[in-house]
A and B are shown apart, each in its own frame.
Chain A
Amino acid sequence: SAVISQKPSRDICQRGTSLTIQCQVDSQVTMMFWYRQQPGQSLTLIATANQGSEATYESGFVIDKFPISRPNLTFSTLTVSNMSPEDSSIYLCSVVGGKRYTEAFFGQGTRLTVV
């Protein structure tokens, strides 16, 4: 199993500003995933963060808006840049178990409100 510490747990931000979300895992993992969950909706993958290379973004998400860092195998950050009210969501980081095709572990999420 993996324990993930994600912070902040929530924040209220002014439009036009940026917020960086941190995710710390208690074990080394190759890939970390960042998801967005808009109010009342399912999870949508933003990007996959790989250590030592640029993140891989899903359709509809770009690096300028959601820059990601992955400095080592236990840590990653996601920045939500130039925020607008439409960015109000829950942001979740996740890792997959040691073997492929096993369960995923999630941080507790960051509830972001942009005003």
Chain B
Amino acid sequence: SQQGEEDPQALSIQEGENATMNCSYKTSINNLQWYRQNSGRGLVHLILIRSNEREKHSGRLRVTLDTSKKSSSLLITASRAADTASYFCATDGTGANNLFFGTGTRLTVIP
């Protein structure tokens, strides 16, 4: 299976704190993406980092990628209650058109 793993499985923080989620994957990739899912609804794309990039920023999001360790991290700074959701990493895999999703981190931001 090419499914990645994320940790922690669940994370609870106070509003204003930073949240860090980690993702590990198994195969070579072209890019790695992070998605957000609210309450079992559809996933929304957050950010994409290519295999030749090491760090990327988008607003309060910072993503890092270490292809030698096959790992990535998502940092959400100055968290808000509205950030409460499940976050998934996804990789494209070699020769695949679909995405392979990690196990997800359920983030709860307490007001």
Contacts and interface: CB of A to CB of B under 8 A. Distances in A.
A31 B99 CA distance: 12
Given A37-B40, A109-B40, A102 B48 contact: yes
Contacts of A48: 97-98
Contacts of A108: 41-42
Contact of A92 (B33, B43, B100, B104): B43
A102 to B, nearest CB: 7
B103 A42 contact: yes
Contacts of A101: 30-31, 92
Interface residues of B, number: 23
Contact of A43 (B41, B45, B48, B101): B101
Contacts of A45: 98, 100
Contacts of B90: 104
Name the residue in A90, A105, A106 with the highest tally of chain B Cβ atoms < 10 Å from its Cβ. A106
Given A31-B97, A42-B101, A101-B31, A107 B42 contact: yes
A48 B97 CA distance: 9
Contacts of B92: 101
B88 interface: yes
A94 to B, nearest CB: 8
A73 B33 CA distance: 25
A76 B42 CA distance: 17
Interface of B: 3, 30-31, 33, 35, 40-45, 48, 88, 90, 92, 97-104
6 contacts: A41-B104, A43-B88, A101-B30, A103-B48, A107-B42, A109-B42
